[in-house]
Amino acid sequence: MKSETSLCFGILISIFYFGVRIDATTKTVQDTNDFNNEKFELLLKRLEHVERRNDEMERRMEMMAADFREKEKALNDRIAELEKLNEKLRNYENDNHVTDERFDNALDDSDNVTDETNGRDAVKKQTRTIRSGSRLARSAQSEVAFFATVTQHDVYNLGVNQNIVFDHAVTNTGNAFHNIHGIFTAPVAGTYVLCATVAGLSVSNDQTYYAHFDVNGKYVAKFITHPYRQATQMIILKLQAGDDVSVKNTRAEYGILGAMYTSFSGFLLYQDFGSSVNIVGK
DSSP 112-168: TSPPSSHHHHHHHHHHHHHHHHHHHHHHT----EEEEE--SSEEEEEPTTPBP---E
What pLDDT score does 217 carry?
A: 93
**In the β-sheet with 190-199, what is the strand arrangement from edge to edge?**
168-173, 145-149, 263-271, 190-199, 230-239
Check: CB of residue 138 under 8 Å from CB of residue 93.
Answer: yes
pLDDT over 90 (residue 14)? no
State pTM to two decimals.
0.50
What pLDDT score does 280 carry?
A: 54
What pLDDT score does 122 carry?
A: 43
Check: CB of residue 149 under 8 Å from CB of residue 259.
Answer: no
pLDDT tens, position by position, 173-226: 999 999 999 999 999 999 999 999 999 886 666 678 899 999 999 999 999 988
Average pLDDT over residues 117-130: 44
Confidence grade of residue 101 (pLDDT, cut at 50, 70, 90): low
Backbone angles phi, psi at 244, to 5 degrees: -105, 135
Q: How many CB atoms are closer than 10 A to CB 115? A: 13
Instruction: Give the integer Cα–Cα distance in Å for 223 and 197.
Output: 9
Q: 150 vs 38, which has greater pLDDT?
A: 150
What pLDDT score does 107 carry?
A: 52
Helical ranges in the chain per DSSP H: 2-111, 118-139
Q: Is the dihedral of CA 171, 244, 202, 232 positive or negative?
A: negative
Most confident region among 48-52, 110-114, 144-148, 201-205 by mean pLDDT: 144-148
**Exposed, middle or buried by CB within 10 Å (0-12, 13-18, 19+), for 19?**
exposed
Q: What is the mean pLDDT of the chain?
A: 79
Confidence grade of residue 38 (pLDDT, cut at 50, 70, 90): confident
Task: Give 235's contacts (C-beta < 8 A, 6+ positions apart).
Answer: 193, 194, 195, 213, 220, 221
Instruction: Give the integer Cα–Cα distance in Å for 59 and 67.
Output: 12
Q: How many CB atoms are closer than 10 A to CB 57? A: 11
Angle at alpha carbon of residue 219, lines to 215 and 221, rounded to 5°: 100
Instruction: Give the integer Cα–Cα distance in Å for 72 and 74.
Output: 5
